[in-house]
Amino acid sequence: MVRHLYVHLPFCASRCGYCGFVVEVGALDRRDAYLDAVRVELGAERACLGALETVYLGGGTPTLMRPHRIATLLEDVAPHLAPGAEVSMEANPETVDRAAWDRYRAAGITRVSIGAQSFQPELLAVLDRRATADQVRRAVACAQEAGFASVSIDLLFGVPGQTAAQLAADIAEVAALGVDHVSWYELEIKPDTALERMGVPLPDEDWGADAYETIVAELERHGYRWYETANFARPGHECRHSLAYWEARDYLGLGVGAVSTIDGVRWRNRSALGGYLGDMASRGRPGRTEEALEDAVRRRERWMLGLRLDRPLDTVWAGPPDHPDALARLADGGLLEVSGSRVVLTRRGRFVQNAVLHQLMEFV
């Protein structure tokens, strides 16, 4: 039975320059139809649901659905929640105020993840972000005042033109806000995004490596645990939904473009909003592509995901690496430690995780 649920809420006011996600710009007049469709899809999948330990409302900009629609959706989800379930929602800072946060909390949201990306106006302009630094600060402060169990903030580094001084300023801003959780990803330029079409160069690899080490060291100094490659938490505030992904647990995804992995089968819902709504109206289920995951694929995914964490990977559960002889070589090189069936990257190994993985596994 599935214990982790993701719901995709695709509406956005604009598309950010780096965004390669399934989003729908504008079309706010379709929010009610979309809500109805997701509720129908949830009803069609009820048989696979166990007691849900985590729910994640992602996007898009879920807060553009507004509190009354989120409340309606969570009323349908509520009967499936386990006691103490984590219910997360992503938010763009310019779409929320204190009154909205209070309503989201009353609806059942326990954890919020606020998209900042940076506090530097020049970098926000490069990324085509609408929210200002002041709006981010206000959104975080109001969420903290509203009393959510965890308040998280998302940022990017390696933005074209970013300087060491700007990175230091962003770190100082995060430390001053005192959030419970930080996700800080290196920018990737995805195909068919505005940044890709502009041909904007990223900072060189050495700059990115130095920036990453600086982020890790500074957030640890401020009391955050570097519990996953790009995620940092104060004690007890790790994102339980994301941990389910990194632990390769089964999960159900609802909505346009959503992905599910259950009992060795992965499927992706149709990624066009009109097609999704049409499917749900005509037959109560979305069109989707489906893939049966071979044992080798699942084994490689367990290694790829499990080594992102700061705790040992159990090879009895994960299976052997494709190149087991590399374990001793990597251990001798100080990049990982092996104790019986347990493998964990050293601190130095975590900074070169991809290189370690490619010595252990075959990725086709």
For 126-166, the pLDDT digits (tens) are: 999 999 999 999 999 999 999 999 999 999 999 999 999 99
For 156-214, write each residue's pLDDT tens digit. 999 999 999 999 999 999 999 999 999 999 999 889 898 889 888 889 999 999 999 99
**Within a domain: 191:** yes
Chosen domain end from 246, 267, 283: 246
pLDDT of res. 132: 97
Q: Please answer whether residues 274 and 27 qualify as being in contact, where contact means their C-beta atoms are separated by less than 8 angstroms.
A: no
* Number of domains the chain contains: 2
Classify burial at 336, counting beta carbons within 10 Å of its beta carbon; exposed 0-12, middle 13-18, buried 19 or more.
Answer: buried
Residue 325 has a CB neighbour count (10 Å cut-off) of: 9
Strand partners, 185: 156
pLDDT of res. 219: 98
- Tell me: do 102 and 190 sit in the same domain: yes
Domain harbouring 321, CATH code: 1.10.10.920
**Within a domain: 268:** no
pLDDT of res. 34: 98
Q: Which band of pLDDT confidence, cut at 50, 70 and 90, is reported for residue 68?
A: very high
- Tell me: do 193 and 63 sit in the same domain: yes
pLDDT of res. 202: 87
pLDDT of res. 199: 86
> Distance between CA 249 and CA 17 in Å, rounded?
32
Residues 6+ apart with CB under 8 A from 264: 292, 293, 298
Full residue range of the structural domain in which residue 319 is found: 295-360
**Within a domain: 278:** no
The tokens describing 75, both together, are 């009323």
Q: Please answer whether residues 168 and 219 qualify as being in contact, where contact means their C-beta atoms are separated by less than 8 angstroms.
A: no
> Distance between CA 58 and CA 81 in Å, rounded?
18
Domain harbouring 231, CATH code: 3.20.20.70
User: What integer is the mean pLDDT of 42-59?
Assistant: 97
User: What integer is the mean pLDDT of 288-304?
Assistant: 97
Residue type for position 22: V
